[in-house]
Amino acid sequence: MNTGKPKNIDEYIAGFPEDTQQLLGQIRSRIKAAAPDAAGKISYGMPTFTLNGKSLVHFAAFKNHIGFYPTPAGVKSFEEELSRYK
């Protein structure tokens, strides 16, 4: 598990075991595919993607799970795609 303070998403992902790195890389790839103009950074200690100055999503790895945290702007941006979920 990552114990240092990463400066960017690559450093964040590199701080985890290989299997977790693969999962985090897949999440990052899917975010970039869905929002190609989004910029990645570390915010609140987690990988975060922003678009037009607003955070869209955060994600983070933990010992036994990976969390995915859409922000209100992210939910709004993907309202149609998310409409099938409660």
DSSP code, position 3: -
**Domain for residue 72, yes or no?**
yes
Chain center to CA of 85: 19
Contact criterion met (CB below 8 Å) for 48 and 42: yes
CATH number at residue 71: 3.90.1150.200
pLDDT score of 86 more than 80 = no
Cα dihedral 37, 1, 61, 57, rounded to 10, equals: -30
Distance CA 42, CA 7 (A): 7
Give strand pairing partners of 54: 51
Q: Which domain holds residue 13?
A: 9-79
Distance CA 82, CA 86 (A): 8
- Give the tens place of pLDDT for each residue, 35-68: 999 999 999 999 999 999 999 999 999 999 999 9
